[in-house]
Amino acid sequence: MKVAIVTGSSRGIGRAIARRLSADGMAVVLTGRDESALAQAAAETAPNSATIALDLRQPAAAAQLADFAIARFGRIDVLVNNAGATKRGDFLALTDDDWTDGFALKFFGAVRLTRAAWPHLKATCGSVVHISGIGGRTPGREFAIGGSVNAALLSFTKALAEQGIADGVQVNCINPGAIRTDRLQLRLQKMMQADAEQRFIQESGIVRVGEPEEIASLVSHILTQRFLHGSIIDIDGGQTKSL
């Protein structure tokens, strides 16, 4: 049985990915900071799943997670680096701490975990999928941190893909757009309008809001297509207009 690690899998996109990979027949290691939410997510992937509550912003957490997966299941075939949210706001109001925190989880957490898991992925001819975001390709003034972090993750994907050719590890990246997660729901609530979602769709120039399960389906598809390598795939309802 193949084994997948999915970070940020207690809710939203990560949780949907964990469910999908479990349905595809994989054992899944779920991780996040909220033990209660992790337990609920694990119930959807039982019996072939395990959870570990970690803060991947901490330097030692990545190796701990990889070691946990090996101790529990004996191998790592898939790594989905999904964890990470960044603070939005006016650039002049964003502090050094805001920037440091933004990079700590989504970028450095992914780098450390990929490094820790790589020998095991090499042994299984495994796959890495980064979940980045369209802000890395189309930055906005209120998404300065997120756009910068995502852009770094896109560059990391391309560099790592070259290493993957040498080591037999597949590496790809997905850029989700507006997906119906708790974070998006909070943004819509702040608009304080009955038609907030429809207004958001119109202002964003997209066909509709995406669902977490659609990102999960794309991850599942990527894992069946080994010729797909070093790719950065936008799934955003048409929001990205750049080439």
Write the CATH number for 22.
3.40.50.720
pLDDT value at position 186? 67
pLDDT value at position 243? 82
Q: Is residue 205 part of a domain?
A: no
Question: Does 57 or 85 have the greater pLDDT score?
Answer: 57
Name residue, tokens 């048409």: 238
Q: Is residue 19 part of a domain?
A: yes
Q: Is residue 204 part of a domain?
A: no
**Do residues 104 and 54 lie in contact, with contact meaning Cβ atoms separated by under 8 Å?**
no
Q: Is residue 203 part of a domain?
A: no
pLDDT value at position 44? 95
Q: Is residue 139 part of a domain?
A: yes
Q: Half-sphere exposure of residue 212, counting CA atoms within 13 Å on the CB side?
A: 20
Which H/E stretch holds residue 198? Answer: helix 196-204
Mean pLDDT of 53-63: 97
Q: Is residue 39 part of a domain?
A: yes
Q: Is residue 82 part of a domain?
A: yes
Give the number of domains in the chain.
1
Question: Does 98 or 196 have the greater pLDDT score?
Answer: 98
Q: Is residue 132 part of a domain?
A: yes
Which H/E stretch holds residue 182? Answer: helix 182-191
CA-based nearest residue to 48, from 70, 67, 21:
21
Q: In sequence order, what E strands does 110-243 have?
A: 127-131, 170-176, 232-235
Q: Which two three-digit tokens encode residue 232?
A: 């950065």
- pLDDT over 80 (residue 84): yes
What whole-number percentage of the chain has pLDDT above 70?
95
Domain hosting 125: range is 3-182+214-233
Average pLDDT of the chain to the nearest whole number? 94
CA 243/CA 232 separation, integer angstroms: 12
CA 40/CA 45 separation, integer angstroms: 9
pLDDT value at position 187? 65
